[in-house]
């Protein structure tokens, strides 16, 4: 055992210690704490906090040290928000923004996830159990009660595990590539109360499937549709290409604000339903769209931002790579009686380059790319099309920062940046940046 006093911790709540001339990371600590580290293990680990920070809390997550998904579980929510704010303001300092970047909090940092994905294994006592991959590894930590998931999803998972054990359904074994069940994936409609359950199986074979479905329906868990997704590939990507509807319509509806959305298993949908409304309201308030504007919603998913934007605009064009999401987006426009939207299945960069070649007139771009951010060609095409405003919604502040430099090189300036804490208890945060074309602010 070794004591470390007044430890230094950055944004990620880890501290680096030196032991036997080697450096190690100790997780789940807070700046300024005194800690006792167990150095008898292969890798030194936190044994005890000798002088806890005033920001340390114990909110009862028993998986925190083993699972590693929630880096801020031991930090009070107020302090987590302060740390996020400090980190973001530091990151964007080189842009010399006029205003401090603020962060919109969630009403509660717990039970906000509408999406749960768990991976299966056989327990030592021969029970079918599931959990989350341990950080940087393929070890599955059994998790019965995740504090970020909706309580109902935790309850469904417990019941499904009993049903799978009773029906002797073998979990998939990554080493031998044998067994049936790989993952369970749940989508919970916070506002609609509709629940989608997807079994990801190792191929089409699912012996005992009918009995499993009968038992699930009998258990009355509120599940409105069950889907089997086939994934026999040697991959850590959860969903395979093919699927079969086993019960119900094969999708759920969810209501956000005044709108209703159809969600299929493979379509992207924000994981935090409460945060999603706050995020879209913020993005639209920044966009300043008027009734004469033609708006592009790039990386549009199932068309959620397009649909929120439609009532303010003359026309909205949504573009998205995933064809299933575009099918849902078209249905979503229809069920919400919106006629001024067109959805296009294409790569956003291809599409924007095509618009630039045709010198199409556009007024506002809203873009919400995946973590890797956008491309130089996409942003160069915007530089050519010269929309007066661009609202960039990002789930990775670092790729946003990289892309902002390309916007600046294309004649844009940053008006403001604001955050929404879409992922409390984790180090992730959603950022919204408003850019304007310099000559015409
Ligand atoms: C962060 S999600 C945003 C979706 C939507 N705006 C929302 O809020 O639900 C990013 C979306 O970009 C899509 N996507 C990824 N790469 C793309 C590309 N090269 N071109 C178009 N869409 C892409 C993904 O399928 C996903 O739906």
Q: What would the pLDDT profile of 233-265 be if each residue is shown by its tens digit?
A: 988 889 999 999 999 999 999 999 999 999 999
pLDDT of 236 reads 81
Q: How confident is the model at residue 16 (pLDDT cuts 50, 70, 90)?
A: very high
Q: How confident is the model at residue 72 (pLDDT cuts 50, 70, 90)?
A: very high
Ligand 1 atom index nearest CA of 347: 20
Give the active site residue among 146, 300, 395, 419: 395
Query: Ligand 1, atom 11: nearest CA belongs to which residue?
Result: 299
pTM score, whole prediction: 0.94
Average pLDDT in the 409-432 region? 97
With a 6 A CB cut-off, is 305 part of the ligand 1 pocket? Answer: yes
Residue 300 annotated to the active site: no
Q: What percent of the chain has pLDDT over 70?
A: 100
Average pLDDT in the 281-293 region? 97
The tens digit of pLDDT for each residue in 130-142 reads 888 877 777 888 8
Asked if residue 426 has pLDDT above 60, the reply is yes
With a 6 A CB cut-off, is 321 part of the ligand 1 pocket? Answer: yes
Distance 320 CA to ligand 1 centre (A): 6
pLDDT of 124 reads 85
pLDDT of 441 reads 53
CATH 2.40.50.140 residue ranges in the chain? 2-56
Flag the least confident range among 209-213, 230-234, 394-398.
230-234
pLDDT of 172 reads 92
With a 6 A CB cut-off, is 347 part of the ligand 1 pocket? Answer: yes
- Which candidate, 182, 176, 140, places its Cα nearest to that of 164? 182
pLDDT of 295 reads 98
With a 6 A CB cut-off, is 320 part of the ligand 1 pocket? Answer: yes
Pocket probe mutation, ligand 1, options 263, 270, 274, 301, max atoms within 8 Å of Cβ: 301
Query: Ligand 1, atom 6: nearest CA belongs to which residue?
Result: 300
CATH 2.40.50.1070 residue ranges in the chain? 115-256
With a 6 A CB cut-off, is 332 part of the ligand 1 pocket? Answer: no
The tens digit of pLDDT for each residue in 324-382 reads 899 999 999 999 999 999 999 999 999 999 999 999 999 999 999 999 999 999 999 99
Asked if residue 52 has pLDDT above 80, the reply is yes
CATH homologous superfamily of 2-56 equals Nucleic acid-binding proteins (2.40.50.140)
Average pLDDT in the 430-441 region? 89
pLDDT of 109 reads 97
**CATH topology assigned to domain 115-256:** OB fold (Dihydrolipoamide Acetyltransferase, E2P) (2.40.50)
pLDDT of 362 reads 97
pLDDT of 33 reads 97
pLDDT of 137 reads 75
Q: How confident is the model at residue 440 (pLDDT cuts 50, 70, 90)?
A: low
The average confidence (pLDDT) of the chain is 95
Where is pLDDT greater, at 125 or 211? 211
Distance 97 CA to ligand 1 centre (A): 28
CATH 3.40.50.150 residue ranges in the chain? 82-108+272-440
pLDDT of 138 reads 78
Asked if residue 126 has pLDDT above 90, the reply is no
Q: Span 82-108+272-440: which CATH code?
A: 3.40.50.150
With a 6 A CB cut-off, is 322 part of the ligand 1 pocket? Answer: yes
With a 6 A CB cut-off, is 270 part of the ligand 1 pocket? Answer: yes
């Amino acid at each position: 055992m070794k004591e470390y006093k007044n430890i230094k911790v950055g944004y990620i709540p880890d501290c680096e210690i030196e032991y036997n001339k080697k450096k190690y990371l100790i997780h789940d600590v807070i700046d300024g704490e005194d800690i006792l580290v167990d150095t008898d293990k292969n890798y030194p680990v936190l044994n005890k906090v000798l002088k806890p920070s005033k920001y340390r809390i114990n909110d009862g997550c028993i998986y925190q040290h083993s699972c590693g998904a929630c880096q801020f579980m031991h930090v009070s929510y107020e302090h987590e928000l302060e740390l996020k704010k400090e980190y973001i303001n530091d990151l964007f300092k080189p842009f010399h923004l006029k205003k401090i970047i603020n962060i919109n909090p969630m009403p509660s940092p717990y039970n906000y996830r509408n999406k749960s994905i768990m991976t299966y294994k056989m327990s030592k006592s021969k029970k079918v159990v599931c959990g989350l991959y341990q950080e940087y590894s393929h070890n599955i930590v059994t998790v019965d009660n995740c504090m970020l998931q909706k309580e109902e999803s935790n309850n469904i998972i417990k019941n499904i595990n009993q049903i799978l054990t009773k029906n002797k359904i073998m979990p998939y074994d990554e080493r031998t590539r044998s067994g049936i069940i790989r993952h369970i994936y749940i989508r919970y409609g916070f506002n609609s109360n509709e629940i989608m359950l997807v079994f990801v199986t190792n191929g089409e074979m699912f012996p005992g499937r009918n009995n499993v479905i009968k038992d699930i329906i009998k258990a009355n868990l509120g599940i409105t549709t069950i889907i089997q997704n086939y994934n026999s590939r040697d991959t850590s990507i959860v969903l395979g290409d093919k699927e079969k509807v086993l019960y119900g319509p094969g999708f759920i509806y969810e209501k956000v604000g005044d709108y209703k959305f159809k969600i299929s298993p493979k379509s992207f949908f924000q994981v935090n339903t409460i945060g999603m409304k706050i995020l879209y309201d913020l993005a639209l308030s920044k966009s300043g769209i008027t009734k004469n504007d033609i708006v592009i919603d790039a990386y549009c998913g199932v068309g959620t931002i397009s649909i929120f934007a439609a009532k303010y605009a003359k026309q909205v064009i949504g573009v998205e790579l995933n064809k299933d999401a575009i099918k849902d987006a078209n249905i979503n426009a229809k069920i919400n009686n919106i006629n001024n939207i067109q959805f296009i299945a294409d790569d956003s960069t291809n599409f924007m380059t095509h618009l630039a070649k045709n010198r199409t007139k556009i007024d506002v771009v809203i873009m919400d790319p995946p973590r890797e951010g956008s491309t130089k060609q996409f942003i160069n095409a915007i530089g050519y099309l010269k929309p007066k405003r661009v609202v960039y919604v990002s789930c990775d502040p670092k790729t946003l920062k990289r892309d902002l430099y390309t916007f600046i090189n294309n004649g844009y300036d940053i008006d403001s940046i604001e955050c929404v804490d879409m992922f409390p208890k984790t180090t992730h945060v959603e950022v919204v940046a408003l850019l304007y074309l310099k000559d015409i602010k």
